[in-house]
Amino acid sequence: MRIGVITFPGSLDDRDAARAITIAGAEPVALWHGDHDLHDVDAVVLPGGFSYGDYLRAGAIASHAPIMAEVIEAAGRGIPVLGICNGFQMLAEARLLPGAHTRNAHQQFIRRDQRLIVENATTAWTNEFAAGEEIVIPLKNADGRFVADDETITRIEGNGQVVFRYAGLNPNGSMNDIAGISNERGNVVGLMPHPEHATEPGFGPDMPDAMRSGTDGLRFFTSAMASLIARA
């Protein structure tokens, strides 16, 4: 099973995403923003970072990269696409996901171990979670405040497209505590927190039982693998 990770100029967590895919048991495939080629991967990850320095708007320039044409086409075919942080911002800018992101309400960059509630455990990237489950995933962003117009909020809430909600504390002022969403079909998921940073014991978030032991992020990638097996 091959999962592609696209590197844009200014991508930062691309190697981390590739490592997480390896730990999950799949094969990571490095993809380049300037190519018109997904190299026949089975799923795609748009990693975190500051593509193009977040100039204009976070994710705005990257959403016009050559490879995004292929990503949009593949998403239409139903292959699993995950956008993490800056990748989430790109998916919104590319209109693969509704809504938009603005500066954090408190205006600062924030990094913390964030509790999330899994709201929808049926998407391509969350089917190994249980609905209502609480997980801990590191969060780090400057422009992470999810916003949308009332109609969109009503629609995505009604459709079950809200996949993750912040628990305990809303770290950036996102509407309805929304941390992550999916498209209607459930194959495209975007979220601000970084599941790739919670996949390896010793290097993840602090958990009640041990330091840096959180690995809740691993199930994002095993979910994608399970959904691909189900599709095949």
Catalog residues that contact another protein under the rule CB under 8 A: 9-10, 12-13, 15-16, 19, 34, 49-50, 52-55, 104, 106, 108-112, 138, 140, 142, 169, 171, 194, 196-197, 200, 202-203, 206, 210-212
Q: Which two tokens stand for residue 137?
A: 């995933």
CB of 1 to another protein, least distance (A): 21
Q: Using CA of residue 156, residue 158, residue 160, residue 165, what is the dihedral sign?
A: positive
Please identify, using beta-carbon distances, which residue of 30 and 131 lies nearer to another protein: 30
For the bound state, the minimum distance from the C-beta of residue 190 to another protein, rounded and expressed in Å, comes to 19
At 14 the three-state DSSP class reads: helix
Residue of 33, 70, 85, 93 with catalytic role: 85
Candidates 82, 90, 104, 222; CA nearest to 164 is 82
- CA proximity to 194, closest of 61, 15, 10, 40: 15
83 versus 193: smaller Cβ distance to another protein: 193
Residue count (the chain): 232
The residue among 132 and 208 lying less far from another protein, judged by its C-beta, is 208
Count of alpha carbons within 13 angstroms of residue 227, beta-carbon side: 26
Distance of closest approach, residue 219 Cβ to another protein, in angstroms: 17
Residue 193 region by backbone torsions, left for phi larger than 0, else alpha for psi between -120 and 50, else beta: beta
Q: Which residue lies nearer to another protein by CB, 65 or 96?
A: 65
Considering the complex, state which of residue 50 and residue 125 has its C-beta at the smaller distance from another protein: 50
Nearest-approach distance from CB 167 to another protein, in angstroms = 13
Find all residues with CB under 8 Å of 199, minimum gap 6, and list them: 19, 20, 23, 24, 215, 217, 218, 221
Check if 194 is active-site.
Answer: yes
194-225 as b/e, with b when 16 or more CB fall inside 10 Å?
Answer: bbbbbbbeeebbebeeeeebbbbbbbbbbbbb
User: Catalytic pick from 70, 101, 119, 194?
Assistant: 194
Long-range contact set of residues 74-77: C-beta below 8 Å, sequence gap at least 24: 74/38, 74/44, 75/183, 75/187, 75/188
Minimum distance of another protein from residue 48's CB (angstroms):
8
Which among 70, 93, 196, 200 is annotated as catalytic?
196
Report, as residue numbers or ranges, the catalytic residues. Answer: 85, 194, 196
